Amino acid sequence: MEARRVAITGIGVISPCGLGTEAFWTGLLSTAPEGLRHVQDFDPQPFFDNPKDARRSDRFTQFALAAAAEALAMAGDIPGDPARHGVWIGTGIGGLTTLEEQVLVHDQKGSRRVSPFLVPMLMSNAASAAVSMRYGWQGPCETTCTACAAGTHAIGNAFNLIRHGRCDAVITGSSEAAMTPTGIAGFTNMTAMSGECLSRPFDRDRDGFVLAEGAGVLVLEEWESAKARGANILAELMGAASNADAHHITAPSPGGVGAIACMRMAIDDAGLTPADIAHVNAHGTSTPLNDAAEAAAIEAVFGPAGPPVTSIKGVTGHSLGAAGALEAVSIVLAIQKGLLPPTAGFANRDPEMAPIDIVIGEARPWSPGPTLSNSFGFGGHNGCIVIGPAD
């Protein structure tokens, strides 16, 4: 069967810098905030039939339902067989908020007071299941849990369900809400987080990431079906790739060898060459090793005069498994707006880093073209996707 084209017809987002796509975009053009990146003023109730159902869902599931609602409202009514409509929502950790709360209940009040909803709330597939049940989509309903690469991997997996003919539409993306006291302490004590609580991707003085939460969701459709129903096609998902460093549980492979291979595979999968890539959305976490390895990998793939590079984590912080989906939404918006958001928090160029073209200061106008988006997760998980304009 000939590979089918994949359209992006809806996007939705819950993020620390804005609830909804327009607020999110405004946030991406703002200055870098300080401190942990919590999602503020989020009310889950509108996305549930009653308050009881909301209370029986973990925060990461609530985020996913909210982002999916916006994305589907944007996509419009999608006809067809529900058995050919799938859901694939990734997460790095799942329902950590519920788990931590119920461990404390067990410790303080005893085992009989532990919620009977503990397991269905904390399980990593809860968000995918909730979205599937909410909209009656009966095709494959799956979850990718590959640390900080989960969002990009989930989108790539959903892409392949459509491209290879299993599904005609898929709700995909990722969600994370792991900012519990224990979660924060764990990342802090492993020295992964910034001691100054500043996110400074690729900056000389970067000293770790700033923990965040959020969700991004995209509606993918088979291209010709989307055209036939008169959908507003926002962008095209063109290629995807996944591999492993097989090197270290937290550190990237020296020189970004795994990242180099993954980027090249994604570009090839899209039927493109490095010269066709107009923008790189970097993983850019603000950690010393990751940013240096990624910069070296980008230079290796594109040469010294490569495309402009951005990292939105200066504003959003690092939302772990949700990061790749938030960044995919930002790419679609950058295509729609004709602007590349700046890498907030960047102030001083690192003389020891490969000299990539980092977008800094103000948003940069561009002629939208294929964008490569990178996600690299603990465990050596690498994921890349290519998103291009809809023309």
- Domain residue limits, the chain: 6-388
Q: Domain 6-388: which CATH class? A: alpha beta
**Half-sphere exposure for 72 (CA within 13 Å, toward CB):** 22
From 310, 363, 366, 318, select the one nearest 338 (Cα to Cα).
Answer: 366
Full-model pTM: 0.96
From 121, 118, 120, 100, select the one nearest 183 (Cα to Cα).
Answer: 100
Taking only the tens of pLDDT, the chain with its 391 residues reads 678 999 999 999 999 999 999 999 999 999 888 899 999 999 999 999 989 999 999 999 999 999 999 999 999 999 999 999 999 999 999 999 999 999 999 999 999 999 999 999 999 999 999 999 999 999 999 999 999 999 999 999 999 999 999 999 999 999 999 999 999 999 999 999 999 999 999 999 999 999 999 999 999 999 999 999 999 999 999 999 999 989 898 888 888 899 999 999 999 999 999 999 999 999 999 999 999 999 999 999 999 889 999 999 999 999 999 999 999 999 999 999 999 999 999 999 999 999 999 999 999 999 999 999 999 998 999 999 999 999 8
Q: How many CB atoms lie within 10 A of CB 182?
A: 13
At 303, list the tokens: 């040469």
What are the beta bridge partners of residue 236? 7, 388
Query: What is the pLDDT at residue 1?
Result: 61
Catalytic residues: 148, 283, 318
Query: What is the pLDDT at residue 252?
Result: 84
What are the beta bridge partners of residue 349? 203
Residues with Cβ < 8 Å from 190, sequence gap 6 or more? 250
Q: Which long-range contacts (CB under 8 A, 24 or more apart) does 270-274 make?
A: 270/238, 270/239, 270/370, 270/386, 270/388, 271/238, 271/239, 272/238, 272/239, 272/370, 272/386, 274/301, 274/302, 274/303, 274/306
